[in-house]
Amino acid sequence: MTASDTHRAIDAVWRLESARIIAGLTRMMRDVGVAEELAQDALVVALEKWPESGVPDNPGAWLMATAKHRAIDLLRRNKRLETKQEQLGHELETGPDTAEAEIDAALDDDLGDDVLRLMFISCHPVLSTESRVALTLRLLGGLTTDEIARAFLVPEPTVAQRIVRAKRTLSAKRIPFEVPPEAERAARLSSVLEVLYLVYNEGYSATAGDDWMRPALCAEALRLGRVLAELAPKEPEVHGLVALMEIQASRSSARTGPSGEPIPLLEQNRGRWDQLLIRRGFAALLRAERAGAPLGPYVLQGAIAACHAQARTPEETDWARIATLYQALARLTPSPVVELNRAVALGMAFGPAEGLELADRLTGEPALKSYHLLPSVRADFLARLGRSDEARSEYERAAALTRNERERRVLLERAAACAPGKTGP
């Protein structure tokens, strides 16, 4: 094995193990910043030793043991410097061997729970959204600050600063390393889910970053979602989000054309949808439903995605069910965009007049003022109702609002296809 092979192997080991190592060390040191530094130190030792000695049999355990020894040294030193009596420090006094054994025992069980605690701490609401995202990708995804910076198209020092500040905030506010108590749990969990979905969407809708990082962000969010689903199996919203991400990911190769142009859902070649991911999405939804709780926003969105995935052709889509799901979603998280989606579903299920009625009610919404999909949806309904003149002007309005060139062309084609004067004077 050459030195660069070893480095790549070490990098892979780090990616696979770092979250668990940092999580275990955080439990020991009660400080996520110190824990990460210790883990990094262990990585540096590995980078020095492994090219000579070869990668050890159990590299994760090796890294953990190395980091742990440094942690114990640090605790001893702190103990000597300060007279402050920490529980661990006290045990060190009574005998270093027992202390070490106890730390070993503490670190050996519940590694999974430690990772869950790490997710809760890195997505803590006391941090800004940007910090939560950066810290999660760093601590749980093992991404470098450079990779995070490239993904979000921000300078690397900005990301580094966000992470440093986040760690400092967690430490200063003495945020406990724990699975939140029952009363806080729902809010804290939704903060974790929000971060994962944000990372996923950043990759999926690609507002920034280079081509390599975009799919990597989707993959990372999906991976962390799957991990979370195993660690918190009784939380239906976690399964709902996983279902949503799995099903959206199943369409990734069908959603762009040969020159990178976006292809809308109903025009995609369904033969290119990834059936394995679709099945995983369905399985996640079943797990969510089995929890028996009232359906939350992620489960509802997952269920809507599943409705589309289930239809072999666009015509087979169960629009009535989708409309019902959007209605439930609108009740939980009211938003004009959700209402517009519901209007589309209603129009597809019960005819253009019904869809148009709801869409018309949205024309006064300030949030949709420059949203091209509102006139575009209204135009489709108007065209289907034979009100061609109105349809044409709505298509033109939509074309003027969209920022996507291909979409603009399609909308203008549709405007031109509206035969003039059918219902006009």
Partner 1 sequence: MRFLLMTTGDPQATAAPLDENLMIEMGKFIEEMTQAGVLLATGGLDPNGIHIKNSGGEITVTDGPFAEAKEAVVGFALIDVRSKEEAVELSKRFWKIVGDGEGEIRQVFGP
**Binding positions for partner 1, rule: CB under 8 A:** 8-9, 11-13, 15-16, 57, 59, 112, 216, 219-220, 222-227, 230-231, 252-253, 272-276, 280
Question: Please, which residue, 11 or 365, has the CB nearer to partner 1?
Answer: 11
Q: Alpha-carbon distance 396 to 334, whole Å? A: 29
Question: Please, which residue, 231 or 349, has the CB nearer to partner 1?
Answer: 231
Question: Please, which residue, 185 or 223, has the CB nearer to partner 1?
Answer: 223
How near is the Cβ of 250 to partner 1 at its closest, in Å? 9
Largest CA distance in the chain: 97
Instruction: Give the Cα-Cα-Cα angle 300, 305, 307 (nearest 5 degrees).
Output: 95
Q: Alpha-carbon distance 26 to 41, whole Å? A: 14
For 68, the enclosing helix (H) or strand (E) is helix 59-81
One-letter amino acid of 81: L
How near is the Cβ of 235 to partner 1 at its closest, in Å? 15
Question: Please, which residue, 247 or 322, has the CB nearer to partner 1?
Answer: 247
How near is the Cβ of 18 to partner 1 at its closest, in Å? 12
Question: Please, which residue, 234 or 272, has the CB nearer to partner 1?
Answer: 272
Q: Alpha-carbon distance 136 to 192, whole Å? A: 9
DSSP secondary structure, 77-145, as one string: HHHHH-----HHHHHHHH-HHHHHHHHHHHHHS-HHHHHHHHHHHHT-TTS-HHHHHHHHHHHTT---H
Which residues does 134 contact at the CB level (< 8 Å), separation at least 6? Answer: 145, 148, 159, 162, 163, 166
Question: Please, which residue, 61 or 186, has the CB nearer to partner 1?
Answer: 61
